[in-house]
């Protein structure tokens, strides 16, 4: 049996950010991934709901931008050959979970692939709003969270990932995502309480 040594993942206790140029990006916290009845339920996603909820409250109270992504697929989407049918447009499974429902001033981005920047208006929205820092949470850590965080970093956004706000299908997948965000994209790994919004 092969033994893999986990590389060092740098973590910071606190990240101070300005509300005016920072957004919270909540990736795919939808019924099909977070509800036990969902088509692609991620059991550990339930642990991230409360940290994400606290972050949403913190951002809204500071007047900072809150953005949701929704995996949003047509009925014959080729991705179903990989993952099976999930997050079909307009269905219960594609809706954001009730505990984290968007409010009227929040923005929702419907996405068709893992990367929330791919053929969506996300980059346009961030630039119009003057955003430089993205706090990324959600599921699944090594798939949509990682690809979105990486795509943000490649566009020179500063990426912050509170690790209690993300979830994956396995512990290996969670660690692998954090390793890539830290090592490859120079994102900052912290906790939900470690994200501090300052004027």
Angle between helices 146-154 and 171-183 (to 10 degrees): 0
Nearest Cα residue to 192 out of 55, 23, 17: 55
For residue 153, the cross-strand partners are none
Q: Please, is 149 exposed, middle or buried when counting C-beta atoms within 10 Å of its C-beta (0-12, 13-18, 19+)?
A: buried
CB 110 within 8 A of CB 121: no
Largest CA distance in the chain: 52
Residue 33: count of CB within 10 angstroms of its CB: 25
Q: Which residues are identified as catalytic?
A: 28, 111, 144
């Amino acid at each position: 049996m092969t033994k893999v040594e986990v590389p060092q993942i740098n973590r910071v206790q606190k990240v101070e950010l300005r509300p005016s140029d920072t957004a919270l990006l909540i990736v795919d916290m939808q019924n099909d991934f977070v509800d036990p009845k969902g088509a692609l339920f991620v059991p550990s996603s339930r642990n991230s709901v409360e940290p994400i909820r606290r972050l949403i409250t913190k951002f809204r109270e500071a007047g900072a931008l809150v953005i949701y992504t929704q995996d949003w697929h047509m009925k014959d989407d080729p991705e179903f050959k990989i993952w099976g049918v999930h997050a079909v447009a307009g269905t219960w499974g594609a809706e954001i979970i009730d505990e984290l429902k968007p409010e009227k001033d929040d923005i929702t981005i419907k996405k068709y692939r893992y990367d929330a920047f791919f053929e969506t208006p996300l980059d346009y929205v961030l630039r119009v709003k003057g955003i430089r820092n993205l706090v990324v949470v959600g599921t699944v850590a090594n798939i949509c969270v990682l690809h979105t965080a990486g795509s943000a970093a490649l566009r020179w956004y500063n990426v912050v990932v509170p690790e209690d706000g993300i979830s994956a299908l396995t512990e290996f997948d969670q660690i692998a995502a954090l390793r890539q965000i830290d090592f490859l994209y120079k994102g900052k790994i912290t906790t939900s309480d470690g994200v501090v919004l300052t004027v």
